[in-house]
Structure 1
């Protein structure tokens, strides 16, 4: 058995209570109980170069990254497989997911029967080669069954709480992490609709789209009373934070969005989304975060695809409305319980938001006439 050491305790020890030693103690105790030798594999350098640096770059660009997804594709089934896992027939992981042979001869990633704990969303950027090398022994069970098995086997982890949060942060606060690596980068806070300067922010990376908490601290005192204010958009080029009092412009649930940089686990898009297919939507299930919530929806090639530099842009529509569609996060696509892949949610431009506000104003005027 192998313990992957990725915590950044050396750089962040002054900010954080390092959790890796507790993890190592639990892993060691389980390994002793099972009679399996345990070896620690330091992947801190690889993790920094392939996950943390990307996370910081995404935050600097004003997006909300998901390092947990990157950790699986780039470290656990990426660098670890290349350095260690390839010497074994399979890489065994405790994810709630299943890797099964498909009718086409390719390996498929399928959901766990436990829809709350199912972790295929976090594995949705794996490649066909990575899925083929993986084995998920807990994937056919639900969490309660695994707890029962742990108790029956008297495992030291039988009552341990589930891990939460970004995998490398441990108990470190996200804002403290960002300030440590990105520092402060002050810039103007501008009202979306009027372009009026309202104050100064400490750095775009401290703010997320739709955020309300803490906005008053970056506004001039004479502007705070006009709120509540919400983060509407971020422009990394001009280092501008756009805010608005129009709640619906940024936080109203949406039923459509775009994704780019799509990874298809099979190596190619499903029938109906390949370049040679006739244009038209394909019905799939769409999941935009970890958890049991997923939407019936449609996916089609976007007209913006020709300007994407070959990244592949798709228009996504869901049968429902979601208020948490953050740029930089992932949308995963499913055909029943089979995970097909995932793409990165694109950010709406300032022009799109202004158009929304204008359309909304027009509808309000029409209702009032």
Structure 2
């Protein structure tokens, strides 16, 4: 069996690589370079140099050949442009979901063709074969589970994948890395969006979309509370970064035409909660779910929301109770009995 292993320089993919090596599998490691160097230099940081150093040290230590695959143009075309378009439209994009479906298990699978039997990664997820289909199951580590980010993968992609660490909780995985002296054993977990590295998300947005002054208005009273630098920096439910006194304040609405952000105090936020939404651009693993009770995630989190799903005439999710922080463009991912069923982008019903 020949396996192409995606490595990132983190402890998860390092342990996954080590486990496959122990099994005597014919392995080659691949590091996907997705950031544009000129942009990274302009923003004052190189998001991939440190990662690549850990990747090289790990592969040398385990005596596994390494290839670096440049996918910057594909990433810009399929992920960055998507993110920028969504932000300009006032939506909340999920770039890591697109990175997995279009790049790691999309453009990369296309690049290596049929030269490998499987592609492995350090994602926290599990796979199960059932009736000629591949099910995507949650990891044993509920805190680290990454099925939310894998929810747009298709059967054609899943049948080629391996997730060697999906059956392990993080602290045990970290101990395994230390016990086997892997170079990344003490490296901190990465945070934020996969391609940004040490570059902050606001820096990325400002570089491409710039800044434009706008008003921050209290939704309840219509009072102007302050100014902001552009609605594209904010998402529904956001609390941090508003820099307003007398809070905490939460973003409850955005007016893209007027470049206005509406906020509410914590005790008023429930008034602007959402209890139902439609789904578009759906992907189902492995089939359209049956109508009825299920669980849903509206962001990467260990928490599930109870909901009722209705498939026709268009996919509809009705929450058991209103939830704040639901924004158009976010992905809602459906679950039943620890199986990820897939999902789609949130479309909110028409309101004021």
TM-score class normalised by the smaller sequence: 0.7 to 0.9
Q: Residues 293 and 85 of structure 1: is their aligned pair in 2 closer, same or farther, counting only changes over 3 Å?
A: farther
1:327 Cα shift? 2.7
8 A Cα contact 2:31 2:52, kept in partner: yes
Count of residues in Structure 1 that have an aligned counterpart in Structure 2: 324
Q: Which residue in 1 is equivalent to 2:7? A: none
Rg larger for: 1
Q: 1:155 to 1:175 in 2, by over 3 A?
A: same
Measured on the aligned residues, the alpha-carbon RMSD in Å equals 2.8
Residue of structure 1 in register with 2:211 after alignment: 184
Partners in 1 of 2:98 and 2:249 — Cα distance? 33
What displacement does 1:295 show?
2.7
Contact 2:216 2:263 in 1 (8 A): no
**1:85–1:122 CA distance, 2 compared to 1 (3 A):** farther
Deviation at 1:24, TM superposition (A): 0.8
2:260 matched residue in structure 1:
241
Which of 122, 141, 150 lines up with 1:114 in the alignment? 141
Q: CA offset at residue 204 of structure 1?
A: 1.4
Q: Is contact 1:257–1:345 with CA below 8 Å preserved after alignment?
A: no
TM-score, normalised via structure 2 length: 0.82
Structure with bigger helix share is: 1
Query: Which of residues 293, 298, 322 in structure 1 aligns to 2:303?
Result: 293
2:105 maps to 1:101: no
- How far apart, in 1, do the equivalents of 2:220 and 2:240 lie? 20
Residues 293-352 of structure 1 deviation map (CA, whole Å, 9 limit, x = unaligned): 1133211147xx5xxxxxx4413314x55433233222211111111102222346551x
Gaps of 5+ in 1: 218-223, 273-281, 306-311, 352-369
Distance in 1 of aligned mates of 2:158 and 2:241 = 42
CA distance in 2, matches of 1:11, 1:122: 25
Unaligned runs of 5+ in 2: 1-28
Distance 1:23 1:245 in 2: 40
Q: Is the 8 A contact 2:278 2:348 kept in 1?
A: no
Higher strand share: 2
Q: Residue 331 of structure 1 contacts residue 342 of structure 1 at CA under 8 Å; is this kept in 2?
A: yes
- Give the aligned partner of residue 336 of structure 1: 337
How far apart in 1 are the matches of 2:277 and 2:267?
Answer: 19
Matched, 1:270 2:289: yes
Provide, for residues 59-92 of structure 1, a one-character-per-residue CA deviation record: whole Å limited to 9, x for no partner. Answer: 1111221111111001001111111154211111
1:287 Cα deviation (Å)?
A: 1.8
- Give 1:22's aligned residue: 50
Provide the C-alpha distance between the structure 1 equivalents of 2:249 and 2:273, rounded to a whole number of angstroms.
20
